[in-house]
Amino acid sequence: MNVLFLGTGAGVPSKQRNVSSTALELLEERGTVWLFDCGEGTQHQILHTTLKPRKIEKIFITHMHGDHIFGLPGLLGSRSFQGGEDPLKIYGPKGIAQFVKAALSHSQTNLRYPIEVIEGEGGTVFEDGQFIVEAILLEHGLPSYGYRIIEKDKPGTLMADRLMAAGIKPGPAYQALKEGGTIKLEDGTLIRGADYLGAPKKGRVIAIAGDTRSCPQLTALAANADVLIHEATFSGDDGRLAYEYYHSTTIQAAELARENRVKQLILTHISARYQGEQVDMLLNEAQKVFPDTRLAEDLLRIEI
At a CB cut-off of 8 Å and minimum separation 6, what does 15 contact?
Answer: none
Angle at 266 between CA 125 and CA 48, to 5 degrees: 85
Q: Determine the 3-state secondary structure of 216 from DSSP.
A: coil
CA atoms within 13 A on the CB side of 153: 8
Are residues 260 and 222 in contact, defined by beta-carbon separation less than 8 angstroms?
A: yes
Q: Is 67 a catalytic residue?
A: yes
| 129-148 residues labelled b (16+ CB within 10 A) or e (exposed) | eebbbbbbbbbbeebbbbbb
Any idea which residues carry the catalytic annotation?
A: 67
